[in-house]
Structure 1
Amino acid sequence: MNSRSNNSTPTPIPDVSFVGATPSSQQMMAAPLGGQGNPQPDKGRSETPRMHMQYPPHAPENDWEAREEMRLRELEEARARAAQMEKTMRWWSDCTANWREKWSKVRNERNKAREENRQLRSKLEATVKEFTKIKREKEELLGDNEQLRKQLALYTHADKDRSSVASASSSGGGSSKSTKSHPERDTPTKVTDSVPEQDKITSDNMDLLDRLLPKKTDSSSGGSSSSGGGGGGKIGHSEKHQHTGAGSNRKYTEEIPSQDASWADQRVLMVQLKLDEAQKTVLAERNEKEQMVKTINKLSTDLTSMKTKYDELKKSKHEALKQLNEVKEIHQDELSRVNMELEDESVSRTTMDRRLADLRAELERLQAENAAEWGKRERLDTEKLALERENKKLKVQITDLEEELERKSQQASAVLDSDMKVLQKDVYEKTKELGDLKHAHAKLKKLLQEKNVDLDHAKRRAEQYELEVKKLRGRVEELKKDLANAEDEVDSQSNLARKLQRNCDELQEQTENLQVQVEHLQTRLRNAANPIFPARKSKSFDPDESAEGIDSDEVED
């Protein structure tokens, strides 16, 4: 039973509910056997005509027709049972096929859900990584913005300090003579004019200007004519400054020595060079500031784009999580449905097993009844033999009595008359008992025949069921053998394919080797076809080619 229940298609359960005792068998089982041997005779009737009336000549034909009808009815019932069994087998095969399809669909859906879950998880991890990267970049940009704000604050503070220094230097230059201070005032005005335009002078340059400007004012108050002329020629761009510088040089030529004039000129040149360098640095810092403003704008645009991208990723993450939850709910519903179907299938299987156990118990009961019927049949056979022996004894007694009657009739007719009456009475009683015995024997024989018919039917049904079970088992074994043969054929085909692939690879290697040999032979034939002198020349210089030439000569030989 375990081997049959493990199969995918359960065997149909035959219905043996129709197997049972016929009414005649039930009557025989219900009737007491002890009272059948001595039936009471009817007093107002003769012996033999009564027996003919009880058993008409057409009774066996009616019994035969009834038996034929019973057999036809049982045959139709057996055919109906067989058709029902075929239907149940087909139903079970369809059910198993449907369950396999459902399980394959559920398995495919589960694999798809797992794959989608894996993809969504990878997307989520990628978005989380990108989000952390964007957050890190945002923090870096915020730090850069803070640094730029601090630098701008420092630059504005330095500009304010520089403007105050420039105003102080311009007020100090105004206290000296106007003719001597024009060239010196030109440079501070240039510096102060360039300050609001450039906005990027470092603290070192401011300290340098603060150190240089007082020295410049001192040199202008000392009245150096060369510094005024040089300053007017290099820094000032008006003729007025040049004339005033020339007048001051002529006026103080005698007072200032030549060494002081050359020193002042060098000092003015140095200051001019430093101012040029400061202007260059201011221009460079202005360009740097513009570049920094551009980078800030670019970073702000990047930050806004990153924010939008982050929002989009957040929305996509929420959508992905929503889809994942929906997929999980669908998967849970499908799993619950499949579990319910499996529970229903297990319940139906348990009911079928229970029904099979009931049918087996009923079959065992029928077998026990059959054994009991066999015992009754044997007992009836023994009773029949006993009745036949009694009939023989009675016949022998009748013959003895007839012989004795004839003998006594010959001896004395008078005595025989009285004795004849007694004997006739005895014979009448004996014949009556014999008729009763025959009647009981006929009844028992009829019951025995009915029991035999029922027993034959039960045997045929049992044999039919056993044949059907054997056929089903043989069919299962054949299917198992076919499956094993198919697996063996698949294995042999796979082995043959591997062998063919291996042979193909070996043939490919052989063809490649033969191709290489053919190429070598062609090269050797070409070398052999060349003139003799170049071949000797090549032999004298290349030992490999000489060896190939020798091989080609051998091939030609």
Structure 2
Amino acid sequence: MNHTPSPHLSDGGKQAGGGLLCSLGLGSDRGVRSPDSLTHTPSPTGGTPSSSPPLLLSPGLGGLGLGSLGAMGEAAGADWESREELRLRELEEARARAAQMEKTMRWWSDCTANWREKWSKVRAERNRARDEVRQLRQRLDTLTKELTGIRRERQELASENETLRQETLRLRGDHAAPPLSAISPSSSPAHPRGASSSSSPSIPPSSPASSSSSSQVHGDVKLDRAAEGPPGSPEPEPVRDMDLDRQKTGQKDLELLDSVLRSRAPGADAQEAWDGRGGVNPAGSRRQERSRLLWEDAGTAEEDSSKLNALQLRLDESQKVLLKEREDKLALSKSIERLEAELSQWKLKYEELSKSKQEALKQLNLLKEMHQDELGRISEDLEDELGARTSMDKKLAELRAEMERLQVENAAEWGRRERLETEKLGLERDNKKLRAQVEDLEEQLAKQRRQAASALDSDLKAIQTELFERNKELADLRHIHAKLKKQFQEKTAELAHANRRVESHEAEVKKLRLRVEELKKELGQAEDELDESQNQTRKLQRSLDEQVEQTENLQVQLEHLQSRLRRQQQSPGLFGKMRSARFGPENPDGPSSDVDEEDEELQLQIP
């Protein structure tokens, strides 16, 4: 604090001379302050005092009146003592004001610290709100990604379900299975599922609601940043209105000065002296009259000429002091005007800061409300998403159960189909066997009717060789049949293994089914060939039996012929007759025709 003391306190001689001149009433209207002018002194609480304290006038000099000049010395001594006491009191008041100023400065620093703490709390809350908005946006992005993944899985499941439905329809249509109403439950969940997917609440990233809310949040954040100002700028500090403090302290000073003057100025003379110092018009006329009387007394008293010269010198000095005090008064008035202008500016700044604070609080409340609304909306969206996800999981479980049921039905259909095919093949084989037996019986009947009675040894050997070859072929066919049977068992094992792996490898199942069908066809062909070979073996067996019978017949005939030859040898005459009858001129080709007939019979008997 730069408290500059008054020139009255720094120069005691000048103060004493001024007091004497005031007591004489000379030049009292030159710059002497009135009590009204003292009310305009600035308050020291607004900062460092920019002016000297008010002019302190001695109240004890007013009681002199128009006494003799001998009492002036005693009055000057009393005035000096009173001024010393006032100087001490003013020093104590300056110390008290300095302490009060320190208190106000501490209060000001506490206020600024509180405001900084409040603004830091507001900034922390705003940063927390921004972090929460950022976290909510991240959660929204993750939820949208999960939703797109679930939609993709749902589409894949729907396509798989459609392919399964089409395949079951195709299989049932091909193999005369139950009607299409059996698979309508599997296809019906796909449609509600699609409907639910279309009606399920989705949160696309580019939805207008989310974009408008995000733009609104960004706008509020920008407003907060604009209100906060640049990061390097100092924080705005509130301004305290100190006009009231100044007025209070000024009023206290005036009351104290007035009480001191009244206590030291007895009677109406002190009031007249005070009014004379204040520059009131009646008091001025009285002072002029007093000065005139004094000058008349001084003119009559020649012995006091030297004193008058001294008083004139003192009067000049007092006039200089009054001029200086007038200049100080002008400077003080200018400083008062400047301080009032600064005070008005600080008031305007304080009002602007209060308005900005109210606006910032309003924006903060709006941000809080928007944040709460956004949280409520996001929580509702999350609940909707959870509901849609649970419903989707339920539908997926139903579709999986339906797919398993369809797979079980498909396996049962394939089992029934295979059983029917095996039964059909068995019935076809039985029909072929029965037809072959009928044909064999017919051939046996025909051959029994066409059997010949004779054959030659060469034909018998040929038949035996042919029988050996046929037996060899039969053994080869049996070996081939065993191989085919083994292959058939292997293929059936492979078919069973492929049927077990049907659920996990549908593509391989299709290939294996085609392969199984080809193998079944080959097996049917092999069985047909086996049946034909068996028929051929039976035919060969029958032909062998026939050949055996023919050999037996031929053996019998041979024995008959041998017996006949023996008999003919025993009776040559009879043999000659028979020979002549057979090889006579009437029948030259007789034996050859018989031989040809026998050959034809043998050829007919051998297939």
TM-score by length of 1: 0.39
* Larger RCO of the pair (alpha carbons < 8 Å, separation 6+): 2
Higher helix share: 1
Query: So what's the TM-score if we normalise by structure 2?
Result: 0.37
Q: Which has the larger radius of gyration?
A: 2
